[in-house]
Amino acid sequence: MDETLKIINGMVKKGVIGGYAIGGGMAADYYGEPTLTYDLDLFVYFASDADSCELISMSPIYKYLLDLGYKAEAEGFLIEGILVQFLPPYNDLIREALDYAKSVMYNDTRTRIFSLEYVLAIMLQTGRPKDKIRLSNLHEIMKDPNTKTKPDYDKLGKILTDHGLKDKWDEFIEENTK
Amino acid sequence: MSSSKKIQNKQSQHPDEWKKIADAKLKHRVKLANLPFPEKVKILVELQKIDNAFAKASGRKTGKVWKI
């Protein structure tokens, strides 16, 4: 994965993408126990992003990676043995998560990942069965006194309120403390 | 009797033992969650290998095992 991240960091350096952060299942795994996933979801600022209403173009990413000899596969690219999906920040919550992603190290390689508070809020908002399971697993781990997975509850509360998820969170907590 | 009913019966008959099992399981999960990121990725790849073996045997389509 080091090599994959180095290629992606190179894309940022060369301006192919404006920046990125790891989200999806891998971000949940970063804070919780490892669970099965086959793709590395990257939320990216596209080169033409800004706040324009332009259609997002994936072509610079395709061109750059194809030129490097990587293959497009399924909905992503196979980069150094890992299937990477490049996703746009498709709503305000994701955009904010991308803006406030934290910088972490993977061995010797620097990368960015959604912070725990945003991972929780996104799973709650998305609400697919697999997100509900991941959220419930993370919540169990967060409650344990020996865990390193501790959200900043003030920050989480603000995110939930700002994005209209407070009631949904309260419902989730009620269901998961029975 | 359904299997979930049987489990519920066993749980009510031996609450201490069930609590011990549940606590031990959570302790193990917390240990996994506390591992460094690269260690978790190594475990993820092992999970992918297991899933691929099952998928192959049952003819189910699945993703590619990561090469890390």
Instruction: Tell me, yes or no, whether A108 and A121 share the same domain.
Output: no
Percent of chain A having pLDDT more than 90? 86
Domain boundary among A77, A97, A114: A114
pLDDT, tens digit, for every residue of B14-55? 778 888 888 899 999 999 999 999 999 999 999 999 999 999
Domain boundary among A89, A114, A139: A114
Domain region containing A162: 117-176
Residue of A nearest to B36 (CA): A30
Cβ of A36 within 8 Å of Cβ of B32? The answer is no
Instruction: Tell me, yes or no, whether A21 and A86 share the same domain.
Output: yes
Instruction: Tell me, yes or no, whether A18 and A83 share the same domain.
Output: yes
Instruction: Tell me, yes or no, whether A142 and A99 share the same domain.
Output: no
Domain boundary among A95, A114, A133: A114
pLDDT of A177 reads 80
Shortest distance, CA B13 to any CA of chain A (angstroms): 20
Cα separation of A34 and B50, whole Å?
14
State yes or no: pLDDT of B6 exceeds 80.
no
pLDDT of B53 reads 94
Nearest-by-Cβ selection for A1 from B29, B48, B68: B68
| CA dist A3 → A34, A64, A87, A121 (Å) | 21, 16, 20, 30
Other beta carbons less than 10 A from residue A104's beta carbon? 13
pLDDT of A178 reads 66
What confidence category does residue B2 fall into, taking pLDDT thresholds of 50, 70 and 90? low
Instruction: Tell me, yes or no, whether A59 and A79 share the same domain.
Output: yes
pLDDT of B22 reads 84
Instruction: Tell me, yes or no, whether A136 and A99 share the same domain.
Output: no
Instruction: Tell me, yes or no, whether A59 and A122 share the same domain.
Output: no
Cβ of A149 within 8 Å of Cβ of B67? The answer is no
Cα separation of A65 and A71, whole Å?
8
Q: What is the ipTM of this complex?
A: 0.87
pLDDT of A48 reads 57
What's the structural domain count of chain A? 2
Residue of A141, A143, A149 to mutate, testing the B interface (most B Cβ within 10 Å of its Cβ): A141
Instruction: Tell me, yes or no, whether A8 and A77 share the same domain.
Output: yes
With a cut of 50, which residues of chain A have pLDDT below it? 50
Residue (of A104, A98, A94, A86) closest to A42 by Cα position: A86
Instruction: Tell me, yes or no, whether A80 and A155 share the same domain.
Output: no
Cβ of B34 within 8 Å of Cβ of A147? The answer is yes
What global pTM score does this model have? 0.88
A151 CB-near residues (< 8 Å, 6+ apart)? A116, A117, A120, A142
Cβ of A36 within 8 Å of Cβ of B44? The answer is yes
pLDDT of B18 reads 84
